[in-house]
Amino acid sequence: MGAHARRGRAGKGRVNALVVGALLGAAGVAAGAFGAHGLKERLTPEALGWWDTASRYQLVHALALVLTGLLARQRGLALPWPGLLFLSGTLVFSGTLYAMALGGPRWLGAVTPLGGAALIGGWIALALAART
């Protein structure tokens, strides 16, 4: 095992869950603050609710990505499935809610549960990875 794998660094084509989780968390804090302060007077209560849900799920799953990266680092192996599912799920789930809040088409609401399913899959994949 090389030094890169022991340090938990992502190899070619792999997601570095620690880095991505930290960046997603920073963006989630910014999105939450923007929604609370910058959009408060511009959006309907329903749209603000979508924005709030999107930023909350983004923050929770940013932490899940960081946890995935720490577990991968501790075990000295790659954990691609939890990281990819958390990342793709967050992008789809939160992304569709952000878009709808900003006036995107309502049909995006039909896509949002696909992101939620990926997030659930990420938690299951993390549980399976943690038990071995």
For 87-125, what is each residue's pLDDT tens digit? 999 999 999 999 999 999 999 999 999 999 999 999 999
Q: What is the pLDDT of residues 31-53, one digit of tens each?
A: 999 999 999 899 999 999 999 99
pTM: 0.88
CB atoms within 10 A of CB 68: 30
Nearest CA to 90 out of 66, 124, 59, 67 is that of 59
Is the pLDDT at 1 greater than 90? The verdict is no
| pLDDT above 60: residue 4 | no
Query: What is the 8-class DSSP label of residue 40?
Result: T
